[in-house]
Structure 1
Amino acid sequence: MSVLPLARTAHRHIDVDGVRVFYRESLPERDDAPVLLLLHGFPSASHQFRRLIDVLGSRYRLIAPDYPGFGHTETPDGFTYSFDRLADVTEGFVDALGLTRFVMYVFDFGAPVGFRLAERHPERIAGLVVQNGNAYAEGLSDGAREFVSLRPETPGAEETIRGLLTLAGTRSQYDTGVPDPDLVAPEGWTLDQHFLDLPGRKEAQVALAFDYHSNVLRYDRWQAWLREHTPPTLITWGVGDPFFPEPGARAYLRDVPGAELHLFDTGHFALETHLPEIAPLIAGFLDRAWT
């Protein structure tokens, strides 16, 4: 009986302007393997891509960093948490690894980080895999709109944000919209909560929450970028997402009409339940986009 090859994965740190960035990198059999940059979401980190790296990493070079304020990445005292700064560090990370061209997987927070990178270096983007990563007003649920409207001076705003940073709040992001929660491994939200409970991490997440409106203000720019560059695009979307509903997935087709769209009956973390369906789609897309 033959066994499908699983990836060998290296776990490393690299310094980017004083930030000790942790990342996972698969070690594919080919030196010239297509590169897929995996940009994680909230409240997770690169560990959310472990199984995807296992199944695709022997054939493709999958690279997944942890942002400042997430996972194993370490930041210096006084680091300012904003989406611009997350993009700055991620750009520095890409430069430090010498990545000149890659397909970019954007999920949740990965979309605002990734689209900032795309604006700065469009020549590097060989294609996009969009998984519940929003760039359209109609892709915001009512709950997401209320979240975006929070400001530090609003009474009770910080308490509302901190309510999402509890174990119950973290688990709900994995379970909500999932028809069969038994398919969701508990270590995902458990590990997320471990990192959220580290010193200074909740303060970092509060700062990013108050900055999230800066992403919505950029939606027009990102849509214009998509129309101008029309990158090869694969969209995989969990339609039960409580933050980013299905219209946000379909909206991409206005600006990238040739995009490939696949909808799944699951929630925000679609890879948790639908890896067997999504991984082959990504593999086929990488083979087509990497030219």
Structure 2
Amino acid sequence: MTIQIPRISHGYVDVDDVRVFYRETGPEDGVPLLLLHGFPTASHQFGRLMDALGSRYRLIAPDYPGFGHTEAPADFVYSFDRLADVLEGFVTAKGLDRFVMYLFDFGGPIGLRLATRHPEWIAGLIVQNANAYDEGLSELARDTIAAPADQLDGLFTLPVTRGQYEGGTTKTELIAPDGWTLDQHFLDLPGRKDAQRALALDYKSNVALYPRWQAWLREHQPPTLILWGRGDAFFPEPGARAYLRDLPDAELHVFDTGHFALEENLPEIAPLVSEFLERRSPTLEDGSFIRERFTAAAKG
């Protein structure tokens, strides 16, 4: 029996004065999958997905400025526009001219900025708890967006970080503590809370762009897979279903879990991602082995 385990490489790309850290795995041919992480995490959130699919597909996961291992200068101005600028430079430096985007949480507003700037880049979207509709904002999310700077520091504490992983889940024993522990380590680095506070204050700029992003989706009709944890305290299930107004052919799957759906439902999500990428990469052989592998693992 041959067991395929991908090799994940780690590196940096310089974009102006930002040193962008990234993880990459998979064969060079085929359509790449650009994995865009959320708050308060970084590219490490995709580690298990890269292990699952990296022997088959090319997966690339960068860290944004203010997150993970990416290094930004002390005078970097943190906004979603600036994060999108850096990611645009990263994509260009990596020579990516056609790819699928995996949008999670903050990855939604960053990725949709890239999509509206460069629609020719987008071969498809995988949307996982990344909101772009008013009905996808919970009261908690609305209160957080409206909160002044002096009321935001509670967002960056260990109980809140851990709660984002465990909240809304069905089986907390499936949620490894490594994710929130590493996230909190990065949040506690010098300057990081200031960066996150600035982004929280700028989040209203994303809500203002919802109509533009919805119009882009209606016009371009990108092939889209929607994956959603219905127990998300910030982005509830109506936000997932709202995409279908503009993307009636999108494929939607809702799971009984929370914000970080990959943590609890990787065995169900990985085959869906594989099959979606298969349809974007017609030169690849049938990938049904991935579904069989994860179905067997789930039963076991």
1:93-145 deviation per Cα after TM superposition (whole angstroms, max 9, x unaligned): 00000000000000000000000000000001000000000000000000001
Q: Indicate yes or no: 2:133 matched with 1:142.
A: no
Partner of 2:287: none
Q: Secondary structure at the match of 2:156?
A: coil
Partner of 1:154: none
Is contact 1:101-1:124 (8 Å) kept?
yes
What does 1:161-176 align with in structure 2 at a 5 Å threshold? 161-176=152-167
Query: Residue 44 of structure 2 is aligned with which of 42, 47, 50?
Result: 47
1:169-202 deviation per Cα after TM superposition (whole angstroms, max 9, x unaligned): 1001001101211110000000000000000000
Partner of 1:246: 237
Q: Indicate yes or no: 2:53 matched with 1:56.
A: yes
Partner of 2:223: 232
Query: Residue 208 of structure 2 is aligned with which of 214, 217, 241?
Result: 217
CA distance in 2, matches of 1:133, 1:289: 21
Superposed displacement of residue 72, structure 1: 0.1
Partner of 2:82: 85
CA distance in 2, matches of 1:171, 1:204: 20
Is contact 2:31-2:280 (8 Å) kept?
no
Q: TM-score, normalised by structure 1?
A: 0.95
The residue type equivalent to 2:30 in the other structure is: A
CA distance in 2, matches of 1:27, 1:101: 16
CA distance in 1, matches of 2:26, 2:33: 12
The residue type equivalent to 1:112 in the other structure is: P
The residue type equivalent to 2:275 in the other structure is: G
Q: Indicate yes or no: 2:173 matched with 1:182.
A: yes
1:59-117 deviation per Cα after TM superposition (whole angstroms, max 9, x unaligned): 11100000000000000120000000000000000000000000000000000000000
Is contact 2:30-2:281 (8 Å) kept?
no
For the aligned residue pairs, the C-alpha RMSD in angstroms reads: 0.9
The residue type equivalent to 2:41 in the other structure is: S
Superposed displacement of residue 216, structure 1: 0.1
* Higher alpha-carbon deviation: 249-258 or 174-183: 174-183
Superposed displacement of residue 159, structure 1: 3.7
Partner of 1:74: 71
> Matched residues, percent identical?
69
Superposed displacement of residue 158, structure 1: 2.7
CA distance in 1, matches of 2:249, 2:3: 32
Partner of 2:19: 20
What does 1:70-149 align with in structure 2 at a 5 Å threshold? 70-149=67-146
Is contact 2:39-2:106 (8 Å) kept?
yes
Q: Secondary structure at the match of 1:81?
A: coil
1:222-260 deviation per Cα after TM superposition (whole angstroms, max 9, x unaligned): 000000000000001000000000000000000000000
The residue type equivalent to 1:73 in the other structure is: T
The residue type equivalent to 2:19 in the other structure is: R
CA distance in 2, matches of 1:142, 1:3: 50
Is contact 1:6-1:56 (8 Å) kept?
no
The residue type equivalent to 1:20 in the other structure is: R
Superposed displacement of residue 3, structure 1: 4.9
Query: Residue 37 of structure 1 is aligned with which of 34, 38, 46?
Result: 34
Q: Secondary structure at the match of 1:144?
A: helix
Partner of 1:9: 8
Partner of 1:153: none
Q: Secondary structure at the match of 2:61?
A: strand
Q: Indicate yes or no: 2:192 matched with 1:195.
A: no
- Number of matched pairs: 282
Superposed displacement of residue 268, structure 1: 0.1
The residue type equivalent to 2:14 in the other structure is: D
Q: TM-score, normalised by structure 2?
A: 0.93
Partner of 1:277: 268
Superposed displacement of residue 34, structure 1: 2.2
The residue type equivalent to 1:167 in the other structure is: L
Runs of 5+ in structure 2 lacking a partner? 283-300
